[in-house]
Structure 1
Amino acid sequence: MSKGTILAVDDEPDILIALEDLFEDEYRVLTTSKPVEALEILAAEPDIAVIVSDQRMPGMTGDAMLAQARGLHDAQAILLTGYADMSAVIAALNQGGITGYATKPWDADLLRGVVRQAYERHCLGRDLATERALLMGLLDQSEDAIAFKDADGRFVRLNARKAETLGRSVAECLGRTEDALRAEAGGDADDASSEADAAAVAAGQPTDTLLVTGERGLERWRHVVRVPIRAASGAVAHLATIERDITEQKSLEARLRQSDKMQALGTLAGGIAHDFNNLLTAILGSLELATPKIADQPRVLRLVTNATQAAQRGATLTKRLLGFSRSRDLRPRAVDLNAVIAGMAELLRGSLGGLVTLRLDLDPAAPAACVDADQLELAVLNLCINGRDAMPEGGCITVSTRTVALRDDPDLADGDYAVITVTDTGTGIPPAILQRVCEPFFTTKALGQGTGLGLAMVFGLAQQSAGRLDLDSEVGTGTRVELLLPLTRMETQGDVAPEASPPVAVQPARILVVDDDAEVRHVTASFLNAFGYAESEAADGPSAVTLMERDSFDLVVVDLAMPGMTGVEFAEIVRARWAEVPVLIVTGHAEALPIPPDLPVLHKPFESGDLAAEISRLLAPAA
């Protein structure tokens, strides 16, 4: 450890030598016989701890030199003087110019003691200054709200960020409690914080708590660490609190959790859709096969027709479920908005429940808009469900369409736009929340009741479709949401095609049906038999390969997702060994496995006409 430094100032060289001999074992000693030079040394040597100076010196007295030294340095000052100069010593002491004195001739031990005490005071002062600078730097630069309170909860130190949370300046907070400051501002006492402070003081141990304030949807999260500080007696005399606003962190965590749930839900949706499509293929196919056999039984035919329509609605729902699970770019095209909304009416009524009435107000003159049809259906469904949730005691949701011509709009290009409006008679949205409702993952619903993605998805659809989403809400009255989409022309339709005749085989052919689902396999084979083809069945890829090794086939219809060997893998084997045999892939979930673009695909559930058309097309080259 390096020695401390002292500066000796005296106009007599012998005195300087004596002082240097007295202190050189304990200190680094600098000497000068000139007061002016002493001031220069002090300006150049920041580590000097103690100045020992004579009083009577030519040109400048010791007390005058030490008074100037205080403006340059924080060193402790000791004055050496004779009894005749005691009045100057007393004046210097009273003015704070010196911290001690010694008379000439000095007692060596006494002078060593005075210098040692001065050196220790200097070290203590510098340590306290360092601690203060560190503390003030921490308080002033920290992003956290930091405060020190006494045992009664009064502020003794705090930084500007903590004062800002109370709406006051630092000076206005000192000596006051948080509850008193909040009461003066007209706010409620923070009982949770007060109780946590008291608990930390009583326990005498550091604690950390998580506090949530604000109404649902506008919550602020604070992580507060409380550290009791004990006095020399061992009792808790002060409490340090460090508050960190973790609202953004909590928001990011919620978004990550929600993103994970949405990814899992999308995977689940795809799996469910695949199973449902298999079931619906079997149901719809069986009903289609049974319909001609009961043509002379009107009552039974009506029941079968009802079942067919219900299964077709199930197929539409499954298609929407698959659309939800897919991650793909938008595919905008000309869409008849009225037809889309009218086609969703039954789905919407089923989703809204018995307490909510759905009313459609569709402008017959409303032309088509350029938009992704699947995403538009999801958008309308989301908006209606949001309206339903805003009416827990029931109400009315109105979905309407109209056209509007925009000119000089700040956001949209000049032109004609279709407007889909969804209006509810619900509770409405407060202005503070209305500004954030389109943020991804922002929701005011209870945990597990909302994803916070509905309006964000609709907003994204509007932006990507070169349109706009407008929201207008009044608390206690309801909410109106308008989706503006650019108009386009529907392709002109030719004459209505004549009613299709039952499909028949275009040429004799042997077709192999490969599917692990026995019901779907049976329906597909029955369709082929009804067309006039010779059909064979296999429950999996390996058994199908065995059949092809034994018999010849003109075409293979194979399911995509099968255990052991997928449809694509089976198709690769067929192409390698029987290149002349075309392969048709049927699937209930095309995204489950990658399918080469040159392989034809038929989606489940399919009608017999769809299957017949694909087979005719694939067999045509052979003909």
Structure 2
Amino acid sequence: MSAESRGMILLVDDEPEILTALRDLLEDEYDVWAANSPQAALEILLQEPAISVIVSDQRMPGMTGDVLLAKARGISDAESILLTGYADLDAVVNAINLGGISGYAQKPWEPVLLLSVIANAHAQCHLRRALTTEQALLRGLMEGSEDGVSFKDREGRFVRLNAAKASALGGVAEDWIGRREIGETAEADDVVLSLGRNSQTTEELPMPEGPRLWQVTRVPVRAGDGRITHLARLEHDITDRRRMEARLHQAEKMQALGTMAGGVAHDFNNLLTAILGSLELAVRRVTGDERVERLLRNATLAAERGTSLTQRLLSFSRQRDLAPRSVDANALIRQMQDLILRSIGDGIEIEEALAADLWPAHVDPDQLELAVLNLCINARDAMPAGGRITLATRNLGAVEEGLDLVPGDYVVVSVSDTGTGIPPEVLSRVFEPFFTTKPIGKGTGLGLSMVYGLAQQAGGVARVTSATGQGTTVEMLLRRSHEPPKGR
């Protein structure tokens, strides 16, 4: 049995016989310390904080018992019992006021009565220390936790809440004591209080900087008789975790699609190579029949378009051989102006926002040109009534939060439009091969896939931001080159 459960008693008396008699009475149930002077008792209290009860004589040389217990109160939280052979009412009152005694006994003592007084004092000290420990643990949990922790009464009013929860509510803890929340989360609290069962839900809760996703655990707190008296609520912010899970899921999906697309592209490429070879031989053998020659030319053009599609698939799956080198993205975009204008037609305004101090990018210039052209055509299609396309570049010296990139410097090439935007349910799928919202025959669903594959194969990443009715921006983050740009 531990000293804490047995209890540790300090006996103080200047008469050795009294100390011996008290030790004999108590040592079967308690660990007993003995001091023959008040000074020795104070030294023991400094060394043994586990002492739970002090039993002190009143009349001792140098210091009376009531004065000793008053001094002991400053260094120990032990319960105090005053023991005296004289009916000294003033000493008892003084001990109660200054020493906080929990019991008083006369000499000679009745053993059963004295044991009962000491047992009650030890139990009181043990419970108080346990409560103090629980309060300290709870205070440490609430003050040190980044999660929102709160307690409510049966009426849903806050009785305790930590700084994290108060911050989520937009204030400090003191402002919310005695107040109720409103809205769905408060209604969910009431349900748990009425049903008496634990609950764990995922909820979007408002924050001063915007809504966040939280895992909310509700636990009804019961009194000793089983009645529910309070509700404990723990709120853990899982917004970032869900975003990471979504990014991981998207990366895994794109990797699987890339593997599939690469296999399909290789098979089609082999078939198209055979078809083009056969068509070339057939053209050589057909002379003088213009109709047949025209049909063969049409077939060749269709097969070549198929080859172009397979090359886009290979770019997406990162299985196409690229020729990356140091490229001045600003110069490439400026050289494309005529090509872009011819491709998008009238009614579209082209705007440039090119960084003056742009770093060179490590990328295949032909594929970058094709990617920019594809993005401009997509932007045009998103603005049937006309609008503005912005071609922009910038340096990114530190990887932004949420990007799965190797730390380092990147060059950002972006194409923005003022079009209809992309709905949230579509946004997560725009880079998938063959996924398109355009009518049949108007798009292959491979333009953005090629952009994604180019950025990935160049060691970077492609990303899109959009909102319905607010336009779309597609960015390619390309690794920085530390060599001077090379010509085409």
Matched residue, 1:138: 141
Matched residue, 1:324: 316
2:309 and 2:337 map into 1 onto residues whose CA distance is 14
- 1:154 and 2:157 aligned: yes
Matched residue, 1:171: 174
Change (3 A) 1:60 1:481: same
1:384/1:397 contact within 8 Å kept: no
Matched residue, 2:438: none
- 1:307 and 2:305 aligned: no
Change (3 A) 1:28 1:247: same
Give, in angstroms, the shift of residue 101 of structure 1.
1.0
Give, in angstroms, the shift of residue 293 of structure 1.
5.2
Q: Deviations over 1:399-426 (max 9, x none)?
A: 879xx9x9xx997xxxxxx998744223
Matched residue, 2:443: none
For 2:429, what is the secondary structure of its paired residue? Answer: coil
Change (3 A) 1:33 1:22: same
Matched residue, 2:103: 100
Aligned Cα RMSD in Å?
4.7
1:227/1:241 contact within 8 Å kept: yes
For 2:101, what is the secondary structure of its paired residue? Answer: coil
Identity %: 51
Give, in angstroms, the shift of residue 445 of structure 1.
5.3
Matched residue, 1:207: 199
For normalisation by structure 1, the TM-score amounts to 0.59
For 2:100, what is the secondary structure of its paired residue? Answer: coil
1:84 and 1:400 map into 2 onto residues whose CA distance is 99
Give, in angstroms, the shift of residue 60 of structure 1.
1.3
1:124 and 1:89 map into 2 onto residues whose CA distance is 25
Residue type of the alignment partner of 1:225: T
For 1:48, what is the secondary structure of its paired residue? Answer: coil
> Where does 1:420-569 land on structure 2 (aligned, <5 Å)?
422-426=415-419, 446=426, 448-450=428-430, 488-490=486-488
Change (3 A) 1:460 1:307: closer
Q: Deviations over 1:66-121 (max 9, x none)?
A: 01101111110011235641123123324462112112333222211111100111
Matched residue, 2:32: 29
2:86 and 2:361 map into 1 onto residues whose CA distance is 107
Q: 1:46 aligns with which of 49, 62, 71?
A: 49
Matched residue, 1:263: 255
Matched residue, 1:241: 233
Asked which structure has the greater CA Rg, the reply is 1
Matched residue, 1:222: 214
1:397 and 1:242 map into 2 onto residues whose CA distance is 48
Count of aligned pairs: 438
Runs of 4+ in structure 1 deviating by more than 6 angstroms, as ranges, are 334-346, 356-362, 418-421, 452-465, 471-477, 479-486
Q: 1:67 aligns with which of 44, 66, 70?
A: 70
Give, in angstroms, the shift of residue 30 of structure 1.
2.0
Give, in angstroms, the shift of residue 6 of structure 1.
1.1
For 1:210, what is the secondary structure of its paired residue? Answer: strand
2:104 and 2:134 map into 1 onto residues whose CA distance is 29
For normalisation by structure 2, the TM-score amounts to 0.73
Give, in angstroms, the shift of residue 345 of structure 1.
9.6
For 1:178, what is the secondary structure of its paired residue? Answer: coil
Q: Deviations over 1:449-504 (max 9, x none)?
A: 34599898787789979xxx9x99999775677989975434xxxxxxxxxxxxxx
1:76 and 1:477 map into 2 onto residues whose CA distance is 72
Change (3 A) 1:345 1:296: farther
Q: 1:127 aligns with which of 126, 130, 139?
A: 130
1:214 and 1:330 map into 2 onto residues whose CA distance is 47
1:337/1:369 contact within 8 Å kept: no
Matched residue, 1:277: 269
Q: Deviations over 1:182-218 (max 9, x none)?
A: xxxxxxx4x2x22332232233222211123579xx8
Q: 2:280 aligns with which of 288, 313, 317?
A: 288
Matched residue, 2:408: none
